[in-house]
A and B are shown apart, each in its own frame.
Chain A
Amino acid sequence: MMKKEKTYYKAQSVKDAIAKAAEHANDFRYLAGGTDVIVNQFQGNEDKNCLIDITGIEELEQIKSDEKKLKIGPLVKLDDLKENDIIRKKFPALIEAAHAVATPMLRKTATIGGNILCENRCIFYNQSAWWREAAGHCLKCNGDICIATGGKKACFSKFMSDTAPVLICYDAQIEVLDINGLQVFRLEDIYTGDGINPRSLSKTALIRSIMLPLDNTYQSVFKKLRPRESADFSSLTTAVSKNEQGRIKIALGGVDPKPVVAEGDSIALRDELILKVFKKSRVIDNDYYSRLYRRDMIRVFLEQSFDVLAAT
């Protein structure tokens, strides 16, 4: 029995990484912090033979700014975001969100790019290969039924990033490089809502930077629901922002295969917006907390967030 050799490649540049990725087509994974990728490999959720380590690529580690934009390199570690003056001043909820991810140790390794591309999770999916065989493979692991819902059509694995909802509320865009060159997306536009393939980026795509507008200012509120004050993935993440013009943006995590987003021109639309995201969220029973509780908490968190925004 010949097994394909496992290789590890430390990319020297973005170009180098993408070339290597193209070479390995369907059998590679980019590795930034690796805190999720490696666990998924360990559990057999993925079994890629080629790991392309991008952590040595310096240009992806920097935070740069001009008058209009702050550009955060995807390799900036979650724990290091707080060191940046502009982020502290203009985008404080991003620091809160980063601090709410996982544990202190993981935040020293995990990157902002990795966090926004964090694989969707489900209690029936994030298990060992043996476990998934015993449970009967679900849609996300090539089975024909969603164990959580009993349905056959859609996978509802949860979108897990805590930083992405905040970034979306700050109107973040991302620069993406792949074999075809550079493209720019609004962050919310890369998420498909399909639990099996939750992102629309091409296979070789790498984020070059996460761009936040400096020509506007935001007030923002971040909240995260989880059983413990550390370690846990989100059971519900909410971010709400109000910009200079009074425009409101809401983004939720943990309650749907993609971030649930709603926007409105003024805080007067508060009830309408809450109802909108509430209705859009496809919450199912695949979490420590029940579906109903998480649904209820969407309202509670958003009402509380709006109260804070209204008071400021």
Chain B
Amino acid sequence: MKQLSITINGAKHEVLINEHEMLSTVIREKIGLTGTKIGCEQGSCGACTVLVNNEPVLSCITPAMRFNEASITTIEGISTDAKLHRLQQKFVDKGAVQCGFCTPGMVITALDFINKNPGASVDEIKDSLSGNVCRCTGYKKIIEAVSEYSKEGFSQDKNSATEEPVPAPENVVISTVGKSRPYIEAGKKVSGAAEYADDVRIKNTLHAKFLRSIYPHAKIESIDTTEAEKLPGVRAVATGKELPVKFGVLPISNDETAIAIDKVRYVGEVVAAVAADTEDIAKEAIKLIKVQYRRIKEFLTMDDSLKDVGENEKIHPEGKFNNNVHKKAELRFGNQAKGLEESDIVSKMEFEFEGVSHGFTEPHAATAWWDENGLTIITATQVPHYLHRALAKVMEVPLSRVRVIKPYVGGGFGGKGDPFPHEMIVAHLARKTGRPVKIRFSREEVFISNHGRHPSRMVLQLGAKKDGTLTALDADITIDGGAYGSFGVVTTYYNGVLLQAPYKLDNFGFRTFRVYTNKPQCGAMRGHGAVNSRFATESLIDDIAHKLKIDPVEMRMKNFLTPHTLTVGHYRITSNGSRESLMKVAEQSEWKSRHGNLEFGHGLGVGCGFFISGSALPIIWNELPQSVVHLKVDFDGRVVITSGASDIGQGSDTMLAMIVAEVLGISMEKIFVLAADTLLTPVDMGSYSSRVTFMAGNAAKDAAEKLCNEIIEAVAKAKNSAKEELNLVGERVFNNDKSIDLSWLEAIDILTANRGAVSISGKYISPKLGGDFKGAGAGLSPSYSFGACTAEVKVDLETGQVKILKVWGAHDCGKAINPMAVEGQLEGSWHMGIGQTLTEQMKYYEGLIMSNNFLDYKIPTSLDTPDIITNIIETNEPEGPFGAKECGEGALHPVIPAVANAIFDAVGVRIKKLPIMPEDILREMKLHKQAEMNPIL
């Protein structure tokens, strides 16, 4: 240990540190400034960037001892007065902040760069930020924010951009919905004040570490924890037998225990856990646990898992058949055979997809403790409600003894949507030790936990008439689920059912097998289930259009479902902006003149898609509404929204506030959002299936309308007026002749007189939908979103490298409650899709994840992200809140096929594998050339 003397944000600190301690640890753990984030611990994500003597430094890979006597500026010290720094304010104003986890590093990197390169160009800014990973924004709004800051100059005297909110003038309509505004918590995120799960500090906390399996499939013969328990500072060691109750997000696949019992099913599965005074002690203790394994035959490929296992042990012994198939789903509508037979052309292709990961920038973290109220856990989760249920089950305590609190969450995209073993384990260790226990994952552990998109393989056949009318679609799909169920049964259906739109198909069917393999489990990821099969379908349409010499845009236009119709599988389509979306991107990309006409190597492609706007059915069957929102108004006139909806960076807290503000005609300043705490907030199913704006938004609207009514009724009664004559607009309650004209606060005084605070509950229940056949529930949603993309690419003819020059995207979100937030969701989706298209893949060696860090798992950097042209299409969804529907997932679907189809346009080869590797392009080009030269072959 040595004494380190440093000045941080102007304050001098003397700290005693381990000589190899990283600067980030000192800043976060010793000084307590948690605005500096830890995303990878290997210098590959940029979240930990701080300034040391005015030079940017990656604090997670720099020993603190290097900087004795140095002056350090963290995100907390960027602004010198009470206001945000002008660049921080730009991030806020431009919507450059979503989950906010990359933001501190991004702001510091950008600030340093612009200060040293005033007036830098957009290209230079892109380059300068290319070491900072952002998974939410697609970098677009970040680059805009930095560019504007750069353009406006950076002198401190201009640091006055933070304008005080102007109070609304009397009787002016306050309109909130439809106007872009920053997230309500953006200031907190951009200044490093927002607390994420790893920033939570509960006194007397122990630290947990896990021992993980080194084999994909092995019996645990014995575990000896004696040595670990003897290590000073170790407070508890836990093994699987202590937590025997199985859980899983779906009731039909509760197939996982918190810690492996008897056998392990993937490399990385937790085998034992330690809680100790420090992380280092816990790490040491883990090394002292001895496990005897006996390896049994492992199943690492889909082919292996489809086969009869013979004498070998299945991954999950339950299940009817002697193979590792987890779920088979099959649905058929119309007459596919006849449809295909009557087609003038049938295109059939086989496709292959690697798994991909959510890549959220915040690693999982959780702190749990027990007190007189039972269990409390603060954890980075998308679904407090399902975690609440799972914890009660696994801990074997009543539901009333579990409290789940969601702090700020650094992105999810489906990857924080399951109850996780680590959440059960810290709860258990906390109970065992009587102290709070914390876990934070390394980036490697995040990848080991996976739950990402399923690797899949599929054969699709699509038939069409000569004029391009689609006649039949068939899909035969296998998806690799990994070792456990997760959302997999839903994924199994979604791969098929979500092909029945956006095109009219009278003859349609699919069969999907989900197999267990001895790999980390797959689950739900943005665009859940249908991303890969959408890619396949859009590739087939492109192929048929090409062969029929029909414009692929026109062919799609010809086949779109109309608004207000039923699909062949009984989906009720309401609003439908497919046509408008496609028209928009075709027009902007000058499709007509350019597609098919660009020089060899340069191409333009198109893709379309659609997605559910919230699953109409709950995961756990019950009669609860999908969303409930409470409003409370007290003497101070503030409206408190309590909602179980989880804001994970997508802006749902802001959305709720905007909806309530709009209905009540009050300003956002009078609203406070309290969300995602299962003790305080009513049940909401959580952030998955793109449901929050539609469902929680509708519940908020319902509650606000009821509150509005109560206020008016109270005033009418007090003033002897008919309530029909009263208006609640612009923070005033008045009648037309103004004989009654009360301020908001005066009206609230009347409302609360002799009654006190008023609480109102609003809810959303999905209408009954769907057919009466088995499986009819899959993919049912009260409404669907639609969208289209075109993409322009250049393919290097010698290296096969693809450069995406530009993406035009359009997405029908019904109505954009907060257009800036919607744009952010769309841009993030397209960026994520581009990653899956070209560079991202979960690579395994013998079941062991190889791409387990941000160097080897290749999320596109700011330099790899093309210009994106964003279009919001509004169709006014009749059942959505103010006409809104989803925008967070569906947009991802069309971009991947748009790029692949652009590659076809560029070089005439169709790549049926994701990610698209340059060598595949070169090989296909070579084969194509040979075939052209020698047509008989």
Contacts and interface: CB of A to CB of B under 8 A. Distances in A.
Interface of A: 1, 5-8, 10, 31, 34-35, 38-39, 41-43, 51, 53, 55, 102-106, 108-109, 123-124, 127-128, 130-131, 133-135, 147, 225, 227-233, 288-290, 292-293, 296-297, 300, 304
A297 B922 CA distance: 11
B61 A6 contact: no
Nearest to B859: A228
9 contacts: A8-B19, A8-B66, A31-B66, A127-B852, A228-B860, A229-B864, A231-B130, A296-B922, A304-B798
A35 B19 CA distance: 17
B58 A8 contact: no
B49 A109 contact: no
Contact of B2 (A8, A38, A123, A232): A8
Given A10-B66, A134-B215, A104 B130 contact: yes
B63 A109 contact: no
A105 B46 CA distance: 8
Contacts of B798: 300, 304
B56 A231 contact: no
A97 B695 CA distance: 53
B130 A135 contact: no
B66 A53 contact: yes
A304 B801 CA distance: 15
A83 to B, nearest CB: 12
Given A106-B43, A289-B919, A39 B61 contact: yes
Nearest to A147: B845
Given A35-B61, A39-B43, A104-B131, A288 B799 contact: no
B917 interface: yes
B858 A232 contact: yes
Given A8-B2, A51-B63, A229 B861 contact: yes
B43 A230 contact: no
Given A103-B132, A230-B864, A296-B922, 9 more contacts: A34-B63, A35-B58, A35-B61, A39-B43, A55-B66, A106-B131, A131-B848, A134-B848, A292-B919
A231 B131 contact: yes
Interface in B723-757: none
A232 B855 contact: yes
Interface string B199-216: 000000000000011110
Given A53-B63, A227-B839, A231-B855, A42 B41 contact: yes
Contacts of B49: 105
Contact of B863 (A35, A108, A124, A230): A230
Nearest to B41: A42
B9 interface: no
Interface residues of B, number: 61
Interface string B48-79: 01000001111001110110100000000000
B216 to A, nearest CB: 9
A131 B43 CA distance: 19
A300 to B, nearest CB: 5
Which of A8, A10, A43, A108 neighbours the largest number of chain B CB atoms within 10 Å of its CB?
A8
Contacts of A39: 42-43, 61
B20 A135 contact: no
Interface string B101-121: 000000001000100000000
B231 interface: yes
B267 interface: yes
A131 B215 CA distance: 11
Contacts of B341: none
Contacts of B18: 6
A265 to B, nearest CB: 28
Nearest to B44: A231
A293 B919 contact: yes
Contact of A123 (B41, B55, B65, B856): B856
Nearest to A43: B42
B308 interface: no
A126 to B, nearest CB: 8
B640 interface: no
A35 B131 CA distance: 13
A255 to B, nearest CB: 15
Contact of A31 (B63, B864, B919): B63
B42 A42 contact: yes
B271 to A, nearest CB: 12
A229 B863 contact: yes
B918 interface: yes
A8 B863 contact: no
B131 A228 contact: no
A51 B130 CA distance: 29
A49 B215 CA distance: 31
A134 B214 contact: yes
A228 B127 contact: no
B128 interface: yes
Contacts, number: 148
B344 interface: no
Interface of B: 2, 18-20, 22, 41-44, 46, 49, 55-58, 61-63, 65-66, 68, 109, 113, 127-132, 212-215, 231, 267-268, 284, 442, 444, 798-799, 838-839, 845-846, 848, 850, 852, 854-856, 858, 860-864, 917-919, 922
A304 B634 CA distance: 74
Given A231-B131, A231-B855, A135 B845 contact: yes
A34 B64 CA distance: 12
A294 to B, nearest CB: 9
Contact of A231 (B62, B799, B861): B861
A290 B919 contact: yes
Contacts of B130: 103-104, 229-231
Sorted nearest first, the 7 A-B pairs with minimum C-beta distance are A103-B131, A230-B130, A134-B214, A229-B863, A293-B919, A8-B19, A8-B65
Contacts of B848: 131, 134-135
Contact of B444 (A104, A131, A135, A293): A131
A300 B854 CA distance: 29
Given A1-B231, A8-B2, A293-B918, A105 B63 contact: no
B176 to A, nearest CB: 39
B330 to A, nearest CB: 36
Contacts of B63: 8, 31, 34, 38, 51, 53
A108 B56 contact: yes
B266 to A, nearest CB: 11
B911 to A, nearest CB: 14
Nearest to A123: B850
A6 B64 CA distance: 13
B283 to A, nearest CB: 10
Contacts of A104: 109, 113, 127-131
A105 B109 contact: yes
A10 B214 contact: no
Contact of A124 (B66, B215, B845): B845
B856 A109 contact: no
A7 B19 contact: yes
Contact of B43 (A35, A227, A293): A35
B117 to A, nearest CB: 11
A246 B285 CA distance: 63
Contacts of A233: 855
Contacts of A230: 127, 130-131, 861-864
Contacts of A53: 63, 65-66
Contacts of B860: 228
A39 B861 CA distance: 20
A7 B19 CA distance: 5
A133 B211 CA distance: 13
B477 to A, nearest CB: 27
Contacts of B44: 103, 231
B428 to A, nearest CB: 22
A6 B20 contact: yes
B57 A109 contact: yes
A102 B131 contact: yes
A1 B46 CA distance: 36
Contacts of A131: 444, 848, 852
A254 B95 CA distance: 40
